[in-house]
Amino acid sequence: MTDTTTQASTSTGALPGAPDAPAAAGVPMTSAATEAATTVRTTEDLTPLGAGLRRATAGRYGPVRDLMRTTLPAELMVRDPAMTMEEARDWTVQTLRALLDLGLGGTGFPTSVGGLDDIGRSCVDFEMTAHGDLSVTVKSGVHFGLYGGAVTSLGTARHHEEFLPPVISMEQIGCYAMTEFGHGSDVASLETTITHDPQTDELVVHSPTPSSVKTYIGAAARDARMAAVYGQLVVDGTGHGVHVVLVPVRDEEGRPLPGVTLGDNGPKGGLLGVDNGTIAFDQVRVPRRMLLDRYGGIDDEGRYVSDIEGDSKRFFTMLGTLVRGRICVGAGAGVASRKALSIATRYALRRRQFGAPGRDGEVVLMDYRAHQLKLLPAIATAYAHAFALEECIERLQELHEAPERDQVAQRELETRAAGLKAVVTRFANDTLQVCREACGGAGYMAENGLTVLRADADVFATFEGDNTVLLQLVAKGLLTGYQEMWGDLDTRGMVAAGARMIGGQVVEATAVRPLVNRLVAAAARRSEDETLLDRGWHLSMFVDREKHVLQTLANRMRARAKDEDSFAAFNDAQDHVLMAARTHMDRVVLEAFVEGVEACQDGEVRDVLERLCTLYALSSIEADSGWFQSHNRMSAARAKAVTAQINALCTELRPHALELVEGMGVPEAWLGSAMLAEDPARWTPGAQA
C-alpha cells in the first residue's frame, strides 16, 4: 500500500534545484512550488519482495528514481480528467514549472550553462514525469529534449551561451518545428526553405507551399516563443539539404511576430494539456547566427562550409542526434505500460465476480486463469522492457562520456533505440487496451485513469518516428553492419545491402555477452525434454530465428539485386524486412533480461525474476509458434508443452501479483485511479467474507 504523508524533506541526495540543493541555473522558486517541495512527500510501505524487485531493475540511475519518488508530490503527478482543454494546458505549464523548481529539466545540458551534462539522467527525468500526466511529459520533452536538445546537439558554444539559459529556466519556451503537412518521416524532403541573403547576411525562412506548413508542433499553438525550424538551406543558389535555424515566433506578449502565422490543431485523441499547432513562414528574416551550424554553416564571406563531405552523410549525422528522443519515448511508453498494469492488477486483487463451489464469497478476478494470462505475461514483458531500456539509457551516457566518438557504436545505439521505441510503444498500446478491458466498466471511467492513459500514450506509436519506418531502420542497420544506419530505406541502397551479405556476416553480436554465449552452448548439449525451462534454449530459439529470418531476407534481396525497379524489389520484401527487425529486437530484449537476472544477488528476488524471464521468453515463443513449427524448430507437442508451462508459471506467480507491480516502480499514490482509493466492501459483493 502507498500513502502520502506531510513532512519536511530530509534527503541528503536531493535533486538539483530541489530544497536540499541549489536551484537550477537561473530558476527562482515560486512560492507554491517551494511549499510543495518542502512540505509534501510521497512515502510507500512496500513489501520486502516488491522493494527487492524494484532495486533489481534500478540500474545506474536507481538512486535518482528513488529520490524522485520521495521528492515529487503526488498531487503534481495526477491531473483532474474533467479539465477543459484550456484548463489542462494551463495546468500542464504550471506543473512543469513546479517540477523545474524541484530540479527536473536541466540535467542534460552542458555544465557551462548550469546543467549536469548527463543525457542519460535527462532520459530518466522524462521517464519519471511519465509516471504522472503524459501531457507534462510531452511538454517537457518538446521544450527540454527536442528544442533544447537541438540547440545543444546541433549548435555551438555561442548558441549554448545565448539560448540554453532561457531554456533551462523556461523563461523562453521553445518548440521543435520539423513535421510538415506534406512530410513527416521523410525529413529529407521537407519543403520549408532557409535561404541566405548575402546583401543583408540574413536567413530568409519561408513556407513556399500549403504542404510546407509545419503542423502537430507541440507548444506552437499557445506557449512557444522560439522554434527550431527544419528546412532546406540554400546558399548562393545552391541547396545543401536540411538544416536547422532558430526563429522567434512570438513577442513577449504572446503575439505572433511579423511573417509568422500560427494556428491551433485543436482537440486531439489525447494529451489534452499539450498545445499542438501549425506554423507558416512568409519570408521571415533572422540573423545568420541563428543557424545551428555545428555540422554545416555559412562563413563571413557567405560561403557554405562543413567538415562533413556530402549532403546525405551530413543530414544523417544530424538526424543521429534524435537518438535521445527515441529512448525517451520508449521509456515513457514503458512507464505507461507499467502504470496500467499496476492499476489493473491492484483492481484484480480486490474485485470479485461469481461464486465457486467450496469458496466463501465470490472469486477474486486475479484467481481466474484467463485474467492471469491477460496480466502476468504482460507484466513479465514490462520487466523485460525495463531492463532493455535501462541498458539503452546507460549506453547513451557511456558514449556521451567517451573521449572519442565511436561511429559504429553510435549507429548500433541508434538501431537499438529505434527498435526499442517501436516495440515498447506497440506493446504499450496493446497492453493499455487489455488493462482497460480487464477492469470492465470501471476501466472505462476517466476517473480510474486507464482511458486517459490509453489516449495519451497512443501517439507514441508515431511520435519521434513512425514505428514501421523505425523497424525498417533497424533492418537497414542489420543488413549493413551499422555502417549505414541512416540512408535510403526503400530503394537500391537497401537491396544492395542485402545482396552483399554472406554467411557468418548475417548476425554479429552488438555487445559482448559471454553469459549468453555460455548458456546457448550449454543448451545445445541437452535433450529437448530437458530444455523447456532452460535459459540457453530460450536464447538459442531467439538467436536461431533471427539468423534464419535475416539470412533469408539477404537471399531474397540478392535474388532481386539486378532488378531495374529497386523500389519494387524492396516493397515486395517489406514484410520480411519488418520481421527481421522484430526478431532482432526480441533477442536484444531477452538478452538484457537475462543479464539483469544474472546481476541480482538476492535469492528470493532472483527466483521471481527467473520465473518472469521464463514467462517472457515462452510467451514470445508461443506467440510465434507457427513460425517455429513451420521451420522445424519446434514440434506440435513441444508447442503444447510451452502453453502448459506458461499456465504453470502463472499459477506460481499469482501469489506475488502485488509484489510484482510494486517492483515496477509506480507509487500507488501516483496511479490516479479513484477505484483503488475506495472501500472495496462497497463495490465488491462477497468481499466482506
pLDDT in tens, 393-446: 999 999 999 988 887 888 889 889 999 999 999 999 999 999 999 999 999 999
Report in angstroms the alpha-carbon separations of 431 from 70, 375, 381.
Answer: 28, 9, 10
CB 218 within 8 A of CB 275: yes
CB 245 within 8 A of CB 290: yes
Extract the residue ranges of the chain whose pLDDT is less than 70: 1-42, 321, 482-513, 521-530, 678-689
Could you tell me whether strands 193-197 and 226-235 are parallel, antiparallel, or unpaired per DSSP bridges? parallel
Rounded to whole angstroms, the Cα distance separating 317 from 334 reads 27
Rounded to whole angstroms, the Cα distance separating 271 from 398 reads 33
Rounded to whole angstroms, the Cα distance separating 337 from 334 reads 5
Rounded to whole angstroms, the Cα distance separating 325 from 143 reads 12
Report in angstroms the alpha-carbon separations of 343 from 134, 354, 434.
Answer: 16, 21, 12
Residue with the three cell numbers 464469497: 361
Q: What is the CA radius of gyration of the chain?
A: 26
* Phi and psi torsions of 165, nearest 5°: -55, -45
Rounded to whole angstroms, the Cα distance separating 561 from 568 reads 11
State residue 480's pLDDT score: 76
State residue 254's pLDDT score: 94
* Phi and psi torsions of 156, nearest 5°: -110, -175
State residue 3's pLDDT score: 38
Write the class of the CATH domain 175-307. mainly beta
Q: What is the DSSP letter of 141?
A: I
Could you tell me whether strands 40-44 and 2-6 are parallel, antiparallel, or unpaired per DSSP bridges? antiparallel
Q: Which helix (H) or strand (E) holds 465?
A: none
Rounded to whole angstroms, the Cα distance separating 139 from 170 reads 12
Residue with the three cell numbers 507554491: 32
State residue 73's pLDDT score: 85
State residue 593's pLDDT score: 97
State residue 498's pLDDT score: 62
Rounded to whole angstroms, the Cα distance separating 540 from 4 reads 47
State residue 358's pLDDT score: 73
Same CATH fold assignment for domains 175-307 and 321-670: no
Q: For 265-369, where are the E strands, in sequence order? A: 277-281, 284-287, 297-298, 304-305, 352-353, 363-364
- Residue-wise pLDDT for 100-148, tens only, equals 888 888 899 999 998 999 999 999 999 999 999 999 999 999 999 999 9
Residues in the chain: 689
Angle at 463 between CA 374 and CA 107, to 5 degrees: 100
State residue 19's pLDDT score: 34
- The structural domains of the chain, with segments of one domain joined by +, span 2-168, 175-307, 321-670
State residue 141's pLDDT score: 93
CB 681 within 8 A of CB 70: no
Residue type at position 423: V
Could you tell me whether strands 260-264 and 202-206 are parallel, antiparallel, or unpaired per DSSP bridges? unpaired
Among 683, 675, 681, smallest CA distance to 343 is for: 675
Strand partners, 227: 175, 247
Is CATH 1.10.8 correct for 2-168? no
* Phi and psi torsions of 264, nearest 5°: -115, 125
CB-based contacts of 630, cutoff 8 Å, min separation 6: none
First to last CA, the chain: 21
Please tell me whether residue 202 adopts helix, strand or coil conformation: strand
Please tell me whether residue 254 adopts helix, strand or coil conformation: coil
Among 132, 130, 175, 171, smallest CA distance to 275 is for: 175
State residue 471's pLDDT score: 93
CB-based contacts of 309, cutoff 8 Å, min separation 6: none
CB 213 within 8 A of CB 266: no
Is CATH 1.20.140.10 correct for 321-670? yes
